[in-house]
A and B are shown apart, each in its own frame.
Chain A
């Protein structure tokens, strides 16, 4: 398979994946922005998302705690925005997307949702900073997905 170079290929590659692989690759996207939110609940969500046979009870409690993390980190109406904090919100949202049932997201692909939130996280982190590098999160995600698909070739016939 040729490497992924644009979002169209990226999205279609994600569309073709089943739920488990979507969660796994979504977790990889989030790991790439983990520096923006050190909340242990995010890490926990990624662990559970990457695990093939997570216990349903553990899954439910992790969903609950990551949703809490999302709500705790969002900007409140009328409060002064701090984009560095907002980056944390988007990381939490991305981690939540890895686990959220599709019925909660209008059937959107979890990995695509996670990818978009990770990009927003990276962008948010640079908004308050004048001399930050331009954001290239999408390019990084293309590479993460390419590598992941490549790695699958070795394990699955």
Chain B
């Protein structure tokens, strides 16, 4: 692999330009409405965070190399070449000031997928050596260790042992021929062990066979966030190899936003072929269990609560109906935020922003958008379905002196699950 350079960065940007990108730039009238959709702009009022401005370097490459007029201008020396200074200037806009939430793409009047272009332009920034330290570290660990946070198998095994000990549930590694292979995010292994316990309880109650691969238990994909498709491909391939080797019918994506995008949508395109298994987000699966009557719940949460839609799951994943149906089972006082569902506001920590320490202050400023939504609702509890959203929300709430607990939806369903024939009872 050649060393990062401006030339390499430009080449990678060039390689990302396809017919949709060319149509987007050809259609853009510089109306600036995308700014109003972006929490980094609305909360800072800094025009540099206007989404379409974030892809200005890609626009320059497109104009000078893919249009007749631009080529004439270049030939006459009228085009300003892209320099190291440009990459430096735009780096913070592309990584710190964008969570790839995709809201801008939904408001653009001419239909430009601006967020998709920001994802693409990151390929150029990574190749030019202009990615944030935090994301470089995470990606390196993901490739070398298998987890962006450096979580190794013994840590997972220890967590499994804990759950088995305290609940009597069996969680097996590498069991071939089962129906499902569950993925986890490092955040769940490190900070929220309750997720693994929750799915173990629910899958047992639903009577489903499942396993976790010791070779590919990590759902997150730092390669997608940093914009390094070659590395993202390696990470996806590990999961695909493990799932196909075990012969599972479905891979379950955990409560992680971009992990779902990575395995559900980007994965097959990265490895260049469709999978031999299906991929579902845990909420899709839980809702299927609900529909099929495989799980029942008891009791209702009385707290006034709302659901924070993780961008990659709702807006970019299309999983909007399912969390509502699941909350309908267990919540007596569910209220919707303004702009809920596909138009929900991001927590501010997605797209690698929360892994990028440099962006901390900006992220907390952007959080004010979520604060405004919550202030209007006055909820007692916030439910979500992404470990990264959860931490980002907790930090934002704390910073704003808001005393609202944040709970994972899967865990909430597990806590209300009617469990028949619990193994722990038998062992007594």
A–B touch (CB < 8 A): the answer is: yes
Residues of chain A whose beta carbon lies under 8 Å from any beta carbon of chain B: 6-9, 11, 64, 67-68, 71, 74-81, 83, 86, 89, 100, 103-108, 116, 119-120, 123, 127, 135, 138
Given A83-B155, A123-B162, do A77 and B349 touch, yes or no (CB 8 Å)?
yes
Contact indicator B425/A8 (Cβ below 8 Å):
yes
The docked-state distance in angstroms from the alpha carbon of A56 to that of B222 is: 45
Within 8 A of A (CB), among B281-331: 301, 303
Inter-chain pairs besides A79-B137, A138-B166, 18 sampled, C-beta below 8 Å: A7-B424, A75-B186, A76-B355, A77-B349, A77-B355, A78-B225, A78-B352, A79-B134, A79-B149, A80-B149, A81-B190, A86-B190, A103-B380, A104-B405, A105-B405, A107-B415, A123-B159, A135-B158
Given A103-B303, A107-B415, do A78 and B428 touch, yes or no (CB 8 Å)?
no
Question: Whole-angstrom distance from the CB of A18 to the nearest CB of chain B?
Answer: 20
Contact indicator A89/B149 (Cβ below 8 Å):
no
A-B contacts, 14 of them at CB < 8 A, read A6-B428, A8-B425, A64-B403, A74-B391, A77-B388, A79-B137, A79-B138, A80-B150, A81-B150, A81-B190, A105-B405, A116-B166, A120-B162, A127-B154
Residues of A within 8 A of B394 (CB): 71
Question: Whole-angstrom distance from the CB of B269 to the nearest CB of chain A?
Answer: 23
Question: Whole-angstrom distance from the CB of A121 to the nearest CB of chain B?
Answer: 11
Residues of chain B whose beta carbon lies under 8 Å from any beta carbon of chain A: 134-135, 137-138, 141, 147-151, 154-155, 158-159, 161-162, 165-166, 186-187, 190-191, 193, 220, 222, 225, 301, 303, 349, 352, 354-357, 380-381, 387-388, 391, 394-395, 398, 403, 405, 407, 411-412, 415, 424-425, 427-428
Closest residue of A by beta carbon distance from B401: A64
Q: Which of A8, A75, A100 contacts B427 (CB 8 A)?
A: A8
Residues of B within 8 A of A6 (CB): 427-428
Residues of B within 8 A of A8 (CB): 424-425, 427-428
Closest CB pairs A-B (n = 6): A78-B355, A78-B138, A104-B405, A8-B428, A106-B415, A75-B190
Contact indicator B155/A89 (Cβ below 8 Å):
no
Residues of A within 8 A of B165 (CB): 7, 138
The docked-state distance in angstroms from the alpha carbon of A119 to that of B148 is: 24
The docked-state distance in angstroms from the alpha carbon of A6 to that of B166 is: 9
Given A80-B149, A106-B407, A123-B158, do A75 and B415 touch, yes or no (CB 8 Å)?
no
Residues of B within 8 A of A67 (CB): 398
Closest residue of B by beta carbon distance from A9: B428
Contact indicator B137/A76 (Cβ below 8 Å):
no
Closest residue of B by beta carbon distance from A86: B190
The docked-state distance in angstroms from the alpha carbon of A32 to that of B220 is: 35
Question: Whole-angstrom distance from the CB of A103 to the nearest CB of chain B?
Answer: 6
